Amino acid sequence: GQQVMQIPQYQHVQEGEDFTTYCNSSTTLSNIQWYKQRPGGHPVFLIQLVKSGEVKKQKRLTFQFGEAKKNSSLHITATQTTDVGTYFCAGPGTNAGKSTFGDGTTLTVKP
Amino acid sequence: DTGVSQDPRHKITKRGQNVTFRCDPISEHNRLYWYRQTLGQGPEFLTYFQNEAQLEKSRLLSDRFSAERPKGSFSTLEIQRTEQGDSAMYLCASSLIDAGNDEQYFGPGTRLTVT
């Protein structure tokens, strides 16, 4: 079945440093979604990418979808303590209603 | 509060007992999803509904698990004869499927502990 892998599993940064997490799928994706889960919270939708090579920005966050639509990345510029949490990517399966989540990258930020 | 709600938030049960969880999605959303999440893992898909129809169920899900969405609004997830391995956070999410966007809104989850 479809697998979605994320690296790294953990990332510890000093406040102000940049952060990148990578997502790789075993199959081509029609779209990819990113979610953030704060400690003790539930996943919150960040963005959906659909087009090959698409790049979207949300303030300090930059999301990319690979040309082959099998990988994606999330880059945070100048991290802040509010960025702490686990970032998940998710891709639809062969049945568009099912989402396969990666195991996430947990970001900690040292002030 | 117009978000996704789940009840109960916590459930402690003894092995072998049955449990039922409820999810109330955002009212205009036509899709409803159930996921299971354990520590250090991403949400694991269990099943989803479009309106009242259950369109897919994970092959990893044993027959002890069943879900319903009788009127296309709230949903229930029942686990029969619970096992210690069922201990997890059970998350519900809903979405309004439209052209190209399936943004899922998650509820706060029900944490199940099987003793």
Per-residue pLDDT of chain B in tens (115 residues, 90 and over written 9): 579 999 999 999 999 999 999 999 999 899 999 999 999 999 999 999 999 999 888 887 789 999 999 888 999 999 999 999 999 999 999 998 775 677 899 999 999 999 9
Classify residue B85 as exposed, middle or buried by CB count within 10 Å of its CB (0-12, 13-18, 19+).
Answer: exposed
Euclidean distance between CA atoms A5 and A24, whole angstroms: 5
Q: How much is the mean pLDDT over chain A?
A: 94
Classify residue A17 as exposed, middle or buried by CB count within 10 Å of its CB (0-12, 13-18, 19+).
Answer: middle
pLDDT attached to residue B59: 82
Report chain A residues touching chain B, CB-CB < 8 A.
4, 31, 33, 35, 41-45, 48, 50, 88, 90, 92-93, 95-104
- Which of B48, B101, B109 comes nearest A97 by C-beta? B48
Euclidean distance between CA atoms B73 and B41, whole angstroms: 28
Smallest CA-to-CA distance from B112 within B7, B25, B3, B23 is with B7
pLDDT attached to residue A74: 98
Residue B62 phi, psi (nearest 5): -75, 170
Euclidean distance between CA atoms B56 and A48, whole angstroms: 22
Domain ranges of chain A: 16-81
pLDDT band at A55 (very low <50, low <70, confident <90, very high): very high
What is the rounded end-to-end Cα distance, in angstroms, of chain B? 33
How far B43 CA lies from chain A's nearest CA (Å)? Answer: 6
pLDDT attached to residue A94: 54
- Which of A48, A92, A103 comes nearest B42 by C-beta? A103
pLDDT band at A56 (very low <50, low <70, confident <90, very high): very high
CA distances from B32 to A44, A51, A75, B20, B39 (A): 15, 25, 30, 16, 23
Query: In chain B, positions 19-38, which contact chain A (CB-CB < 8 Å)?
Result: 31, 33, 35
* pLDDT, average across residues A37-56: 96
Smallest CA-to-CA distance from B108 within A38, A107, A32 is with A38
pLDDT attached to residue A2: 76
Instruction: Specify the CATH number of the domain A16-81.
Output: 2.60.40.10
Smallest CA-to-CA distance from B41 within B87, B8, B10, B98 is with B87
Residue A72 phi, psi (nearest 5): -155, 160
pLDDT attached to residue B86: 96
How far B56 CA lies from chain A's nearest CA (Å)? Answer: 7
What 3-state class would DSSP assign to B60? coil
Q: What is the CA radius of gyration of chain A?
A: 13
- Which of B45, B50, B55 comes nearest A99 by C-beta? B45
pLDDT band at A57 (very low <50, low <70, confident <90, very high): very high
Amino acid at A61: L
DSSP-assigned beta bridge partners for residue B67: B77
The pair of three-digit structure tokens given for residue B106, joined into one six-digit string? 């998650």
